Amino acid sequence: MILGIETSCDETAVALVTQDGEVRSNVVASQAELHARYGGVVPEVASRRHLELVGPVLSEALERGKATLDEVEAVAVTRGPGLIGALLVGLSAAKALAWSRRLPLIPVDHLHGHVASLYLEPGALEPPFLCLLVSGGHTLLLDVRARSGYHVVGTTLDDAAGEAFDKGARLLGLGYPGGAALDRKARDGDPDAYSFPVARVPGFDFSFSGLKTALLYVVRDLPADELERRRADLAASYQHAIVRALVERTRAAAMELGGQPIAVVGGVGANSELRAALADATLAPLPLCTDNAVMIASAARYAPAIPFPQYLALDAYATAA
């Protein structure tokens, strides 16, 4: 059994996963409410909260998995990318735990983790496939040939898709983090009410910053009562523009790679319009789209382990190497 720890942003998460990819427990403590009043994650606040939560979340993951530390064979942990202080809390906890039990430590890349949310039973996905990774910090098209890694074929030139959702939600007064709230609001609106053009950049890259500016101008020019009346239409049209851009590029890339099957992972993978538009694709299970430790433990099954006690000086990284 692998024990996974994830603390890269504002979720403190611990999970137990077997070598065969069965999930034994999945505990996620979200700090979203703590950061809501600041309109974004405050790194130092996040680190301190991780420190308070990591112990209790670990205990609960063992309890829910009806397991003891004796059954844990390896400790997996997110090493990066993410907020460096937040990452260091999880990494230090993982080192302490592994060292005290003389266990190996498996450092995991957070993005590899998102992809590995597809490798769990029942129904684990077998490469090759083209993976659309859409999260708060990344928008990537990945050519996946083996479970141990991937090759990047497209990325965003500016904002990530999740960032576009969050900024749009903020402009529409839907709170933080706004992706899920915008998704809910859009259900009552007309996706064709407004036309928000998405920049078409060469190759398989994405660009979302112009879209956000377009929404800003529309919102700024609407009287307050009119904005209230058109909020759902604006949400639906804005979401439609993001989803259309994601789907078009993804399908084109899959075709270019010789008709690869498509898979979707990451927080924006929870979006209902995106899931409907790519209903023929493999979609990460809803609870595993946003950050969790199950995906980290899953990725660890395909990553090299560092034997006891060689990992004590291991460092975290904030951005991808």
Ligand X SMILES: Nc1ncnc2c1ncn2[C@@H]1O[C@H](COP(=O)(O)OP(=O)(O)OP(=O)(O)O)[C@@H](O)[C@H]1O
Which two structure tokens, joined as six digits, stand for 17?
Answer: 């996963």
d(CA 104, CA 81): 21
User: Least distance (Å) from Mg ion to the CB of residue 110?
Assistant: 6
Q: Which is nearer to ligand X, 216 or 320 (CB)?
A: 320
Q: Which is nearer to Mg ion, 103 or 274 (CB)?
A: 274
- Please report, as residue ranges, which positions from 78 to 97 form the binding site for ligand X (by CB under 6 A): 82
Site string for Mg ion, 279-308 (x = CB under 5 A): ------------x-----------------
Size of the site for ligand X (CB under 6 A): 23
Residue choice 159, 183, 205, 233 for contact with ligand X (CB under 6 A)? 183
User: Least distance (Å) from ligand X to the CB of residue 294?
Assistant: 13
Tell me the C-alpha to C-alpha distance, in Å, between residue 317 and each of 12, 45, 122, 128, 265.
Answer: 18, 19, 32, 28, 22
d(CA 25, CA 4): 10
- Please report, as residue ranges, which positions from 213 to 242 form the binding site for Mg ion (by CB under 5 A): none
Residues 247 and 277 sit within 8 Å (Cβ to Cβ): yes
User: Residue 185 binds which one of ligand X, Mg ion, none, with CB within 5 to 8 A depending on kind?
Assistant: none
- Please report, as residue ranges, which positions from 102 to 121 form the binding site for ligand X (by CB under 6 A): 110
Residues 247 and 275 sit within 8 Å (Cβ to Cβ): no
The answer to whether the bond into 202 is cis (omega within 30° of 0) is: no
Dihedral (C-alpha) 314, 316, 317, 318: value to the nearest 10 degrees? -170
Strand pairing report for 11-17 and 23-30: antiparallel
156 belongs to the binding site for ligand X (CB under 6 A): no
User: Residue 80 binds which one of Mg ion, ligand X, none, with CB within 5 to 8 A depending on kind?
Assistant: none
Residue choice 25, 26, 31, 135 for contact with Mg ion (CB under 5 A)? 135
Which span (50-58, 68-76, 98-106, 175-183) binds ligand X, by CB under 6 A? 175-183
Q: Phi and psi (nearest 5°) for 96?
A: -60, -45
Site string for ligand X, 285-304 (x = CB under 6 A): -----xx-------------
78 belongs to the binding site for Mg ion (CB under 5 A): no
183-212 burial code (b ≥16 CB/10 A, e <16) = bebbeebebeebebebeeeeebbbbbeebb
User: Residue 127 binds which one of Mg ion, ligand X, none, with CB within 5 to 8 A depending on kind?
Assistant: none
135 belongs to the binding site for ligand X (CB under 6 A): yes
Neighbours of 223 (CB within 10 A): 8
Q: Which is nearer to Mg ion, 273 or 291 (CB)?
A: 291
Binding site for ligand X (CB under 6 A): 8-9, 82, 110, 135-138, 162, 165-166, 177-180, 183, 266-268, 270-271, 290-291
